[in-house]
Amino acid sequence: MADGLSLSRRELVGAGVGSGFLAAAGGLLLPESSAGAQQPRYGGRIRVSSVSSSTADTLDPAKGALSTDYSRHNMFYNGLTRYDRLLNPRPELAETIETSDQILWRVKLRKGVEFHDGKPLTSADVIYSLLRHKLPATASKMKSVAEQIAEVRAAGRDEVMIRLTGANADLPAILAQSHFLIVRDGTKDFRTANGTGPYRCSEFRPGVRTRGVRNPNYWKHGRPYVDQIELIGIPDEVSRVNALLSGDVHLINAVNPRSTRRIQQARGYGVMSTEAGFYTNLIMRQNELPTGNPHFVLAMKYLFDRALIRRALFRDFAVIANDHPIPPFHPYYRADLPQRPCDPDRAKYHLQKAGLTGVRLPMFASPAAEGSVDMASVLQEYGARIGLNLAVNRVPSDGYWSTHWMKHPLTFGNTNPRPTADLIFSLFYKSDADWNESGWKNPAFDRLLVEARGEADQARRKQLYGEMQELVYNHCGVGIPVFINLIDGYDRRLKGVYPIPIGGLMGYMFADNVWWDG
Amino acid sequence: MAAIGASGDRGGGFTVVRLVAGRIVSALLTLLLVSLIVFIISGLLPGDAAQEMLGQSATPEALAALRHQLGLDVPAHVRYLSWLTGMLGGNPGHSIVANMPVSEIISERLPNSLVLAGLTAVVAIAAALFIGIFSAMHRGSRTDRALNVTTLALVAVPEFLVATIAVLIFAVHLRLLPSITLVSPDASWGEFFRSYALPVLTLAIVVVAQMARMIRAAIIDQLDRPYVEMAMLKGVRPGRIVLTHVLPNAIAPIVNAMALSLSYLLGGAIIVETIFNYPGLASLMVNAVTSRDMPLLQTCAMIFCAAYLLLVLIADVVAILANPRLRSR
């Protein structure tokens, strides 16, 4: 292991190897608790509201579907690793994760960790928690990702060996996703949560509330800080903001950019904007005409007025994108790709080349894909100027993903932030991926993807991912105008809040970090 | 006289029993039809529970496995019949999505809905009776016209607007009342009434307006009758006329109006439940639709339908009992 990539604890903590976001300036590493110089206070009760709560709520991490689920799972469970504020994976229940070939990984478990029922954490729990994702009956959201886990076996009570089907340097980052949180060996019934996390589940009522009380035996010394956390879901955005401003809840996510001014103007309330790789994209199916015509694809990409979309749709709570899914703040972002401008003349040229002037094309947009209805209207307006007749079909959110998404030549998609470049590309851009949204087939891209996945050298990796960005930018039938920031609102008495760029609510991990200064 | 009255009563009792029995039979038929229609229509919705659960991660093989696990791979009519036989035996089935017995979920939500509807009914009926009677007695006066315009305006204002404005005023600015209704078993009476104040107010405004107008019309209709004139000529005070002479005669249309308004409180509270994040039955049913949870959806539909039929039946029975002519027929 001496000459291979060794993700020892020290390196994980110190340099952020793995795959996450590196700090822009070489050695700049923020200390973990730099959110406030203040000493954390103990006690208090807080109420947090996320966007949804329904009978589909679950305590099974594998089934986690939405921000409420992710947040709930992070209250009660821990993962082998977790993300820091730069999205580097850090050791959590794993003391170290080491590998020499990116295929066989040795995970040493932290000792003295207890589940809420008092049983100690052992390798059997980890094996069970990881392998259950591969069983169809689990209905895991991570089934396709877990397919690359070939084998997990115990090497003693406090050590497991994970063997992958192919080299993947990103394993520590993959395991930090909330779906891979560790449950107790043999758990089938998820009516209550038995994890190792900072809170114990005292009440779980799907569609109503989740309540957690401080776990006094938490293995992280001195944590957590708050006595009790209640997690609810308020689907209506106006009601959610009102609940925050009237003091009924103390932290909310998915704030509309239009509501930010209202929150900021109220005394004692703040807005936290998280730059993450969240985007809504135009999908031009490549196996259908006319969207499969490369000239048509370019015409549409030149038609996006990205600055207008950022300003008018998202009130500047967005970052301009360049038709590939890697955001500018990502360590693997390729800065030397020219930013594609809004250029109606070039769009017109490509449209004429494609022979599509005057053609009427239906385009499907839905509130399910955030901002897509307004983006479609902008495209329609700009299209009309160059002789492209786009007909916007606004369809309801309900059933959009199963009936419209990717099912017509022109639709909109919406992709949540993923922790690694490999996951984004593997899930949405690989030729044989289930959600290869545009259906493009690029063998060169596929080769680069596999090579980059097993590559341990950071510089080489960055170069490979850069080449992939160029391929997507030039050839893929996907137009990405902007990356949308995730906006949270919080009561300023809630301290220790900072963005973690995997999602809102501190990357859904507020429970471990916040304290109440009320 | 006594003999005639007694036989009339017997006949009345018989009529009512026959009516109730007939109504119950037709109600059961209605419920059956409704369940069939709900099942068929919800089957036409795009996607099923497995697709909704997996969402974007629905690969064909994952879907097939989950469908098999949830029992969605059996033909629709078999699923319907097994649900129906379960329901007839008093078991509304198992929620596909929540993986819990439907009865357990309902038993948690139904009381919430009943509390909200009950509180609103108490407030609304009292207010509506007061407004209706008052404006009928002062027909044509300035107060009557003012009440008229106000109630008409309130009927026309959508409840989401009423609710949002009420929240802005009472919760965000004045901070008197909570903006969301959290049902907590360990709440004190004060907290209980505080948290229910805004949703009850919103719902009451909507139904009060309708009821008050119907009550006013029913009473005015009676006030024009000769017996009222007779009573007035005899020197009975107006308040006494309305309460002891007019009201019993106007009870049938009033109860009818109330039944229609109250049936709305159970299922129609969806907007209020959404805005105040109240865990009632209506939002549960919307959940069931979006997650394609058929057993839960069916059971909610049955409850709403049964409640509606029951309220209408009660109104009819009251109307018959209140009217001697109907009673003896």
Q: What would the pLDDT profile of B84-130 be if each residue is shown by its tens digit?
A: 888 888 888 888 887 788 998 899 889 988 899 999 999 999 999 99
Task: Give the mean pLDDT of chain A.
Answer: 89
As given in the structure block, the two tokens for residue A129 are: 């928690």
Residue B285 φ/ψ, nearest 5 degrees: -65, -40
d(CA B304, CA B266): 7
Contact: A54, B287; criterion CB under 8 Å = yes
3-class DSSP state of A104: strand
pLDDT at B12: 53
The closest CB to that of A55, out of B62, B69, B95, belongs to B95
Picking from B73, B270, B277, B290 by the largest number of A CB atoms within 10 A of its own CB, the best residue to mutate is B277
pLDDT at A24: 33
Q: Which residues of B touch A55 (CB under 8 A)?
A: 95, 97-98, 105, 284, 287-288, 291, 293, 296
When pLDDT is cut at 50, 70 and 90, the band that residue A1 belongs to is very low
d(CA A90, CA A108): 13
pLDDT at A364: 95
The model's pLDDT over A236-266, given as tens digits with 9 standing for 90+, comes to 899 999 999 999 999 999 999 999 999 999 9
* CB-CB contact of A254 with A416 (8 Å): no
pLDDT at B91: 86
When pLDDT is cut at 50, 70 and 90, the band that residue A25 belongs to is very low
When pLDDT is cut at 50, 70 and 90, the band that residue A120 belongs to is very high
Distance from CA of B164 to the nearest CA of A (A): 8
CA-based nearest residue in chain B for residue A433: B59
Nearest to A123 by CA among A91, A80, A163: A80
d(CA A304, CA A412): 14
AA identity, residue A406: M
The closest CB to that of B277, out of A141, A239, A247, belongs to A239
d(CA B43, CA A304): 39
- Where would I find the H helices in B45-101? 49-54, 60-70, 76-88
As given in the structure block, the two tokens for residue A453 are: 């996945």
pLDDT at A4 over 60: no
Any B CB within 8 A of A435 CB: yes
Structure-token match 């002037």, residue found? A357
**How far is CA A396 from its chain centroid?**
24
Which residues, given as ranges, of chain B have pLDDT below 70? 1-13, 55-58, 267, 327-329
In the 8-state DSSP scheme, what is residue B246?
Answer: I
* CB-CB contact of A475 with A440 (8 Å): yes
Structure-token match 């009677």, residue found? B133
As given in the structure block, the two tokens for residue B148 are: 């008229």
d(CA B88, CA B102): 14
**Beta strands at A251-252 and A45-50: parallel, antiparallel or unpaired:** parallel
**Rama region for A293: left / alpha / beta (φ>0; ψ in -120 to 50; rest):** beta
This prediction's pTM: 0.85
State the burial class of residue B108 (Cβ atoms within 10 Å of its Cβ: 0-12, 13-18, 19+). middle
pLDDT at B329: 54
Give the pLDDT mean for A318-331.
94
Q: Which residues of B touch A207 (CB under 8 A)?
A: 98, 279, 283-284, 287
Name residues whose C-beta falls within 8 Å of residue A225's C-beta, 6 or more positions apart in sequence. A40, A41, A42, A43, A44, A496, A514, A515, A516
The closest CB to that of B59, out of A65, A209, A434, belongs to A434
The model's pLDDT over A261-297, given as tens digits with 9 standing for 90+, comes to 999 999 999 999 999 899 999 999 999 888 999 999 9
AA identity, residue A167: A
When pLDDT is cut at 50, 70 and 90, the band that residue A33 belongs to is very low
Count Cβ atoms below 10 Å from residue A139 Cβ, excluding itself: 22
pLDDT at A372 over 80: yes
Contact: A403, B279; criterion CB under 8 Å = no
Counting DSSP H helices and E strands in chain A, the numbers are 17, 22
pLDDT at A216: 94
* CB-CB contact of A270 with A263 (8 Å): yes
Give the pLDDT mean for A80-87.
92
Whats the size of chain B, residue-wise? 329
Distances (CA, A) of B50 to A24, A132, A205, A402, A458: 43, 18, 22, 11, 40
In this structure, of A97-101, A438-442, B184-188, the range with the lowest mean pLDDT score is B184-188
Structure-token match 């998915």, residue found? A254
When pLDDT is cut at 50, 70 and 90, the band that residue A2 belongs to is very low
pLDDT at A19: 38
Nearest to A41 by CA among A227, A216, A225: A225
ipTM above threshold 0.90: no
pLDDT at B131: 92
Write out the DSSP string of A147-173. Answer: TTEEEEEESSTTEEEEEESS--TTHHH
pLDDT at A411: 95
d(CA B289, CA B300): 10
The model's pLDDT over B276-305, given as tens digits with 9 standing for 90+, comes to 888 888 888 888 888 888 889 999 999 999
pLDDT at A416: 87
